C-alpha cells in the first residue's frame, strides 16, 4: 500500500515495515507547514496499523533535509494537534505558539511514536533537518552525509527541538553550535549520534535489513523497550531542557526583531520595503 500526500509519501515496503519519505526534493525537503502535517499524517497511519512494527524515515532527492523553509511556512490549514493552538494575535505570542505546535510539539510526538523508527540520512541535514533525524530511534547515514546547525549565525540559540547535548555531548554541542561548523557522517558516528555509516547506494538496503531484524521481535516488547530508553533520557532532563531552551529561542527572536526595528527607525525603511508597502496599497 502506498499513500501519497502533497509533500510526503507513506508505503508498506515489507512485512511489518512502513517507509515515510519527505517528498519536496526540488526544495531539498525544506520544511513548511504542509510537510509537517503530511509527515504527521503518515506517522498516524503507521501508528494505527497494528501490522506495522518498524518505520523507515527518509527524504527523496539528493539531501535528507535543508531545514526550515526560509521562504516561509505557508498557510496554516490544519487543525492543531497539540495543546498549543497557533495564535492569530501576532507578536511573540503568535510565533511562540506556532513553533510550540509545529516544531517542538510535532517532534516530541514523533519521538514518542510507539514503534521503532530508523532515519535514513543522505546528503545535507541542516538545522530543522537535525530535529527530524533526532526524533528517530536509530540513525543510518550515507558516507556523504553532513550535518550542521547554523542558526547561531542568525542570532538564535539552536533549533526548537534542542537535543544537541543529548546527541553530541556537552563539549561538542557547544563547539558545533558556537562555530556552526559541518560535521561528517563519520564524526557523527564517533560522537554517538549516528549508529552506522554506509555507502550511499546501500543506505536503504542496509536500513531495510535492520528493520527486518527488528520486526522479528514482539511488537509490545519493542514498544515498551523504546519507552524504557526514552524514560531514561527524560530522567536526564531532556524535556525540561527543551522547555527552557525554546523560551530562550524565542527571546532571541524577540531580540532580533527589536534590533531590526531599531535599525529601521534609525535608518529609515529600505527601498525594497517602501516598494513592497506601495505595492500592497
Buried b (16+ CB within 10 A) or exposed e, 114-152: ebbbbbbbbbbbbbbbbbbbbbbbbbbbbebbbbbbbbe
Q: Mark residue 81 as left, alpha or beta (left: phi above 0; alpha: psi -120 to 50; beta: remaining).
A: alpha
- Give pLDDT, residue 277: 41
How much is the pLDDT for 269?
Answer: 53
Q: Summarize pLDDT for 210-263 with one digit per residue, the tens.
A: 999 999 999 999 999 999 999 999 999 999 999 999 999 999 988 888 887 777
What is the band of 276 on the pLDDT scale with cuts at 50, 70, 90?
very low
- Whose cell is 554517538? That residue is 192
Q: How many domains does the chain have?
A: 1
Q: Which domain holds residue 121?
A: 2-280
Distance in angstroms (rounded) separating the CA atoms of residues 25 and 57: 15
Q: Identify the pLDDT of residue 91.
A: 80
The HSE-up count of residue 221 (CA atoms within 13 Å, CB side) is: 5
Domain of 259, CATH number, reads: 3.90.226.10
Give dist(CA 64, CA 124) in Å, integer: 6
The whole-number pLDDT of residue 273 equals: 46
Share of the chain above pLDDT 90, in %: 77
Q: Which of 27, 231, 22 is nearest to 120 (CA)?
A: 22
The span from the CA of 37 to the CA of 72, in Å, is: 15
Amino acid at each position: 500500500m502506498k499513500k501519497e500526500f502533497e509533500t510526503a509519501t507513506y508505503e508498506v515496503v515489507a512485512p511489518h515495515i512502513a517507509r515515510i519519505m519527505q517528498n519536496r526534493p526540488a526544495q531539498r525537503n525544506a520544511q513548511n507547514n504542509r510537510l509537517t502535517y503530511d509527515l504527521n499524517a503518515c506517522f498516524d497511519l503507521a501508528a494505527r496499523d497494528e501490522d506495522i512494527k518498524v518505520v523507515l524515515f527518509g527524504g527523496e532527492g539528493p539531501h535528507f533535509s535543508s531545514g526550515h523553509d526560509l521562504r516561509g511556512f505557508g498557510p496554516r490549514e490544519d487543525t492543531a494537534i497539540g495543546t498549543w493552538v497557533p495564535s492569530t494575535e501576532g507578536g511573540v505570542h503568535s510565533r511562540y505558539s506556532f513553533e510550540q505546535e509545529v516544531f517542538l510539539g510535532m517532534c516530541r510526538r514523533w519521538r514518542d511514536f510507539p514503534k521503532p523508527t530508523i532515519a535514513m540520512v543522505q546528503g545535507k541535514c541542516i538545522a530543522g533537518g537535525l530535529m527530524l533525524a533526532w526524533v528517530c530511534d536509530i540513525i543510518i547515514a550515507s558516507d556523504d552525509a553532513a550535518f550542521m546547525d547554523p542558526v547561531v549565525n542568525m542570532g538564535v540559540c539552536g533549533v526548537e527541538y534542542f537535543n544537541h547535548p543529548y546527541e553530541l555531548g556537552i563539549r561538542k554541542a557547544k563547539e558545533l553550535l558556537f562555530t556552526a561548523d559541518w560535521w561528517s557522517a563519520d564524526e557523527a558516528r564517533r560522537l554517538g549520534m549516528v549508529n552506522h555509516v554506509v555507502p550511499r547506494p546501500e543506505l536503504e538496503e542496509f536500513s531495510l535489513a535492520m528493520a527486518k531484524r527488528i520486526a522479528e521481535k514482539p511488537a509490545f516488547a519493542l514498544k515498551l523497550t523504546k519507552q524504557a530508553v526514552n524514560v531514561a533520557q527524560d530522567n536526564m532532563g531532556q524535556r525540561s531542557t527543551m522547555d527552557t531552551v525554546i523560551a530562550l529561542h524565542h527571546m532571541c527572536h524577540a531580540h532580533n526583531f527589536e534590533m531590526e526595528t531599531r535599525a529601521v527607525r534609525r535608518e529609515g525603511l529600505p527601498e525594497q520595503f517602501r516598494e513592497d508597502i506601495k505595492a500592497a496599497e
